[in-house]
A and B are shown apart, each in its own frame.
Chain A
Amino acid sequence: MPARVLIVDDEANVLRGWARALRLAGYRVSTASTAQEALNLADEHPFDVTVLDFLMPSMTGIELLARLRKKVPTIRSVVISGRIDKKHTADQLTSKLREAVEADIYLHKPVSNQDLTETIEKLLGGAERSWKEFASRSVNAKSTKIKTAKNVAKELKKSLKKKD
């Protein structure tokens, strides 16, 4: 049986693109455009892997991951962030949240299909959590002001609002 993958992103086009890619790669794919939808789907299926957007309106990918793990403890995870927030992702790894939740692998948009499928293959093959590698590779954390994912979301919302 092919592995089951849950993709969560609030952007429909992104969601479709990834879904198509993973379907073409042979996975059983479910998609959710909200956190709630994702949690409902997790009740129905024991997903092997989840691909989460880092930044979503109601909660961050990390927060959602924490909840998904409660439902499916074995779920492996890929969190994909826009690079603008990668520094904050890195930051989180040094924050309290790191102890509580960490994704198995972090990727940055735009992710090629090859990178995405290889990553999932790796996770399914039992690859070690690689956040440590990511942390050391990522550019040094610059902002110490924004310490939690919540703050990241708040900052982003604020700046998006200002932009509007």
Chain B
Amino acid sequence: MAESPEKLTFEVSASLQRLIGRELVPTDEFAVIELVKNAYDSGAKVVTITIQPVSEKEPGFIQIEDDGSGMTLPDFRRFFMFAGYSERPDEVGKAARVPTGEKGIGRFAVDRLGRLLTITTKTSASPKVLRVEFDWDNFKSKRKKFNEMQVPYELVSDAGWPKDRSGTAYEIRKPRTLWTREKLLALRSSLAELLDPFKTPSDFRIDLIVPSAPMLSGPIKQEQPKKADHEIEFRITKAATVDRRIGRDGDKKSDWAMVDSPSDLKPLIGLRGRMLYYNKRPTKSQVGAIQSGVKLFRDGFRIQPFGSPSADWLGLTEKRAKRAGHAHVVPNRLFGFVEISRKLNPDLKDTTSRQALVETDAVQALVSFLRTETGFLENRIRTEVAEPRWKASEQKRAIELERARLHSLGIVSFGLAHEIRQPLQSIRSEADNIATRVQQLGISDDDIKESQSTIDEDIRRIDDTIELVSDIATGNLEDISSFDLAEFVRKECSLFASRSKAIGTELVVEAAASQAARLNRTTFSTVLLNLWKNSIDAIGEADDGREGRIKIQLSHGARGHVLEVTDNGIGIPDEIRQKIFKRFATKKTGGLGIGLYYCNTIVEAQGGEITFTSDAGKGTTFRVRIPDQLGGR
């Protein structure tokens, strides 16, 4: 090195290797992965990692061997021994691969794995094998200069390598770490997630061999999450616009559609990705051992730590904790795979520690873009899952409230019904007594007769009202039992038959010979009774002397039991239709207007629904659907 009095130069301590290799590189797994990346960059098709943990019998070693292009001595001098240099010569690239190594420092990470490193490498053209020995402990000294460190090598003509074989093998001895089973498992899963499962290079395989643990040995499989509840795919086009498509794995996907893009996406051109979301915690059969998180891959290789549990790089955990923004996205049910490339996205650079991206505008754009995509996904989740769920819980609460109300109504009406029926009984008796006496006295008077029939009618009306309130008050909606619904309907209808007949209305019941059901009987009989009563009233309201006809049909549909009650009464007036299931909505001259409201409440509580069609003046059909219930006897 020429020195001149006017200029100063840096000298580099040998311990810099230690700073870079051991302290900047975060984990042992990372060190292994760096060598796997080197293998990939050298055009390898298979890289085999053999780990023999230290034990009482075995001194332990790590070997990482590939079938890549290998290095000649000049190559080795120029590239491996040139710290901070990473570009690979064109002739090395056997496959058209974009180099994954970038900084030219990954090699120093090997120090983490063990004290002694032997590199054996050979190109196919060279007849000799280059063997280089490193003892990293020699780099300890702060006094020694980095560029004065001496690494012995030899060129061996017969090292057991076939003539046309090329590749590189790193053999690490005196391991610095204890490779426990847990650590090996963690390495396996890190390797499994090293490659983008949706863009795995077809010509690259990683084998992990642990001689002492065959269970941990074998090729690393890149797993894809399957059967997500929501899936979106997105890509940034050459024009820096965003295309997106929606669809689940296996289902028909929507076409790619251009969507509004928020910011300048030029640095992200070529980005592709997908997000998968599970409404419930995904099972092993859905996601295997894949960790949740939105992961970033460059040219197929994972960039740590994005998407790792500790890196909340899209702020999902934070937002959820604050109940803001993507609060509906539960982070551990979200799986994302985002692919960028070195060629197209040169501004998305790793920090030297490989633990993040260097903060640039491009990185800002990436994060904000992915947040937008997460937001889009979240909207879908909210409208498809969270909102219905929220509505259901709202409804449940309303029903609970209603139950409480009914319970207190029950307590009051229990006494009230008794209190009203006593005087009603004496009115009934005494009115009849008057009639008897009038008859005995030989009096026949139209006014008296009319008065009597009015009294009769109103006693019945009071009685019906008490009956309804009593039913509501005493009905038990929780008892579920298995029974023959067809028989039940026929029996209930037989109770209506005589009264239907008395007022000149025909009652037709259509039901199968039998229909097995698992329901709350009270619900069904209450609904049936109310609909029948409504029909009777609707027919009674028609003053054109029409012949009443009520048809009660029971059937079974895909979503439960279906009861239809059709009458040829006056129909439901327009002004009532909208609020027919609301409380106190009635157009009838008599009635509280709580019958349908109550029926609807209890039917909905059991996952069913009541619908109707009505032809003003001509008649109405009410349709009740109730699914079989779980639980009960």
Chain A interface residues (CB < 8 Å from chain B): 11, 13-14, 16-18, 20-21, 24-25, 55, 82-85, 87, 109-114, 137, 139-140, 142-144, 155-156, 159-160, 162-163
Contact = CB atoms under 8 A, between A and B. Distances in A.
B426 A156 contact: no
A163 B420 CA distance: 13
Interface stretch (B411-419, B502-510, B552-560, B616-624): B411-419
Given A16-B430, A21-B429, A163-B416, 9 more contacts: A17-B428, A82-B421, A84-B413, A84-B466, A85-B418, A113-B429, A139-B525, A142-B475, A162-B411
A82 B426 CA distance: 12
For the residues of B in contact with A, the DSSP-based class is helix
16 contacts: A11-B422, A14-B422, A14-B425, A17-B433, A20-B433, A24-B437, A82-B418, A83-B463, A84-B418, A84-B466, A84-B473, A110-B425, A110-B459, A113-B436, A142-B522, A162-B415
Nearest to B435: A113
B415 A156 contact: yes
B402 interface: no
A156 B414 contact: yes
The CB with the most chain A CB atoms within 10 A, among B422, B425, B473, is that of B425
A37 B430 CA distance: 24
A113 B412 contact: no
Contacts of A144: 479
Contacts of B467: 83
A16 B422 contact: no
The CB with the most chain B CB atoms within 10 A, among A25, A110, A142, A144, is that of A110
A28 B369 CA distance: 97
B440 interface: yes
Interface of B: 411-418, 421-430, 432-433, 436-437, 440, 459, 463, 466-467, 470, 473-476, 479, 495, 521-522, 525
A44 B75 CA distance: 130
Nearest to A20: B433
The CB with the most chain B CB atoms within 10 A, among A14, A21, A84, A111, is that of A84
Nearest to B414: A159
B330 to A, nearest CB: 42
A87 B474 CA distance: 9
Contacts of A21: 429, 432-433, 436
A83 B430 contact: no
A140 B440 contact: no
A143 B522 CA distance: 10
Contacts of A137: 495
Contact of A17 (B416, B417, B430, B495): B430
A110 B466 CA distance: 11
B463 A110 contact: yes
A82 B466 CA distance: 10
B429 A140 contact: no
Contacts of A17: 425-426, 428-430, 433
Contacts of B414: 84, 155-156, 159-160
Nearest to B439: A24
B91 to A, nearest CB: 89
A109 B436 contact: no
B424 A109 contact: yes
Contacts of A20: 429-430, 433
Given A87-B474, A139-B525, A140-B521, A160 B430 contact: no
Given A83-B417, A84-B417, A159-B415, A142 B425 contact: no
Nearest to A160: B415
B407 to A, nearest CB: 11
Nearest to B417: A84
A143 B476 CA distance: 7
A116 to B, nearest CB: 8
A83 B412 CA distance: 15
Contact of B440 (A24, A85, A156, A160): A24
